[in-house]
Amino acid sequence: MSALTLDNIAALPGNAALQTLRQQAADTYTRTGLPGKRDEDWKYTDISRLTAALGESWWTTSEPQTVDINDVAAIEDLDAYRLVFVAGRFQAKQSNIPAGVQLLPLAELLNSDAHEDAHCLFKLDESAPLFNGLLAANSALASDGLCACIREGIKLDKPLYVVHVGNSTAHVLSGLMLGANAEATLIEHFVGTDSSAASLSNIATYVRLQDNASLTHYRLQLESDKQLHVGRVEVKQARDSRYTLHAVELGGSLSRADIIINLSEPGASCDLNGLFVGSGRQHIDHHTRIDHNAPHCRSRENYRSVLDGRSHAVFNGKIVVAEGAIKTDSAQSNANLLLSKNAEIDTKPELEIYNDDVKCAHGVTVGQLDKNQLFYLKSRGLPEDEARQLLTFAFADEVLVGMKIKAVRRFIEKEAFAKLPNLSDLEGMLT
């Protein structure tokens, strides 16, 4: 394997100290390489497809392109602060930054030599859960991202809507910090424009929530057909903080996300909702890891997948309850609907519990549509196809009902259902 070198990173933003951090990350990547099939966490996801498709070109951030955000299938009727990234670079002209909060594109922050606050995002911890070479490559190669600090007690009046326009190789690194009692909503939307182009989106997002802070995070992956997408979301939660994730996987040829939640102080709580809709030969993989490291923390996890064609999904949900984390309240559910006999799901709940005083529920289902429900609908006069579609949509929609922003929910319903054998009129179909 050839080495990721200074040549690849010299042109990237950051002062000498940061270049050193980038070089260290590059060395780490060169040492670890890409995860392989022997790696238990990558058993079902063959990332060699990345080099097969792109060779070593994925090390190089694509040249900037001009994309008009109005030409992109963005969410309509969304009242939000829109922040646009094209090919991993912030587009100031197409964006509006909220006033009164500390929010800057990463590159701008790195190029203004005044402070080195953002450097901590580049420091790698190889002992972190699900650490891998792609994350090291992200640190070495990150061209831009979003750095925001919502100060104590601030409630952001509108969501941050971050649109990443893909079809280009981009290494994006973002950091979001919410001070005590702060509240915000982050919508990350990954979207492509060219269905024939293959490249890599390598996206890392770090979140820190201080005491009683609350973040709702929509992570919407709608890359174009051939795009490869790898992502990592790492959240550290202080006392009584709340984190809600709505992860939706619709696009790309291969998409992998690692979601790592550290409930580090008492009373912290997280809700992870995931929906995969796979068709064709799509491969979708989420590895989630929730660490209950303090007493009285709560976690809820609800992942669903609807798989058609020859699509393949992987769900691995690991929950670790530490020794002192008494009164842990945790529930995990993963339900999978296979619409075709060639579709495949590998699902694995993993619980590691190191004390007695906990409540941990988990359940997995894999199957086809419920026969009783199907008969019920048919007995009311619905044709078989329509009944099947209706049940399929209702199954998928169950994880979307928690989305409080209606414009996002409607957008995702439309995009998700468009991938499945379709009814003409969705109006009023679901509750």
Partner 1 sequence: MLKVKNLHASVDGKKILKGINLEIGAGEVHAIMGPNGSGKSTLSNIIAGRDGYEVTAGSISYKGKDLLAMEPEERAWEGVFLAFQYPVEIAGVNNTYMLKAGVNAKRKHQGEQELDAIDFMQLVKEKAKMVELDQSFLSRGVNEGFSGGEKKRNEIFQMAVLEPSLALLDETDSGLDIDALRIVANGVNKLRREERSIVMVTHYQRLLDYIEPDFVHVLADGKILKSGDKSLALELESRGYDWVKEEEADRIKAA
Asked if 430 is part of the footprint of partner 1 (rule: CB under 8 A), the reply reads yes
* Nearest residue (CB) to partner 1, 134 versus 403: 403
Burial of residue 121 (number of CB atoms within 10 Å: 0-12, 13-18, 19+): buried
Among residues 2, 127, 424, 431, which is the contact residue for partner 1, using CB under 8 A? 431
**Residue 277 beta carbon to partner 1: minimum distance, rounded to whole angstroms:** 15
User: Which residues fall within 8 angstroms of residue 39, CB to CB, at 6 or more apart?
Assistant: 132
- Please tell me the count of residues contacting partner 1 according to CB under 8 A: 29
* Nearest residue (CB) to partner 1, 44 versus 276: 276
Asked if 413 is part of the footprint of partner 1 (rule: CB under 8 A), the reply reads no
Record the tokens describing residue 104, joined without a space. 């800057």
**Residue 424 beta carbon to partner 1: minimum distance, rounded to whole angstroms:** 11
User: Which residues fall within 8 angstroms of residue 195, CB to CB, at 6 or more apart?
Assistant: 224, 225, 226
Among residues 76, 77, 323, 427, which is the contact residue for partner 1, using CB under 8 A? 427
* Nearest residue (CB) to partner 1, 197 versus 430: 430
- Tell me if 331 sits within 8 A of 297, measured CB to CB: no
Asked if 420 is part of the footprint of partner 1 (rule: CB under 8 A), the reply reads no
* Nearest residue (CB) to partner 1, 331 versus 360: 331
- Tell me if 217 sits within 8 A of 244, measured CB to CB: yes
**Residue 387 beta carbon to partner 1: minimum distance, rounded to whole angstroms:** 8
**Footprint (CB under 8 A) of partner 1, residues 358-397:** 370-373, 375-384, 386-387, 390-391, 393-395, 397
> What would the DSSP string read from start to end of 307-320?
E-TT-EEEEEEEEE
Asked if 50 is part of the footprint of partner 1 (rule: CB under 8 A), the reply reads no
**Residue 335 beta carbon to partner 1: minimum distance, rounded to whole angstroms:** 11
* Nearest residue (CB) to partner 1, 158 versus 378: 378
Record the tokens describing residue 250, joined without a space. 């619709």
* Cα–Cα distance for residue pair 200/142, rounded to 1 Å: 12
- Tell me if 325 sits within 8 A of 294, measured CB to CB: yes
* Nearest residue (CB) to partner 1, 180 versus 429: 429
- Tell me if 397 sits within 8 A of 302, measured CB to CB: no
**Residue 393 beta carbon to partner 1: minimum distance, rounded to whole angstroms:** 8
Q: Helix 384-397 crosses helix 406-418 at what angle (to 10 degrees)? A: 140
**Residue 358 beta carbon to partner 1: minimum distance, rounded to whole angstroms:** 28
* Cα–Cα distance for residue pair 238/346, rounded to 1 Å: 33
Which of 173, 234, 174 shows the shortest CA–CA distance to 209? 234
| Residues of the shown chain interacting with partner 1 in the complex, contacts defined by CB under 8 A | 370-373, 375-384, 386-387, 390-391, 393-395, 397-398, 401, 427-431
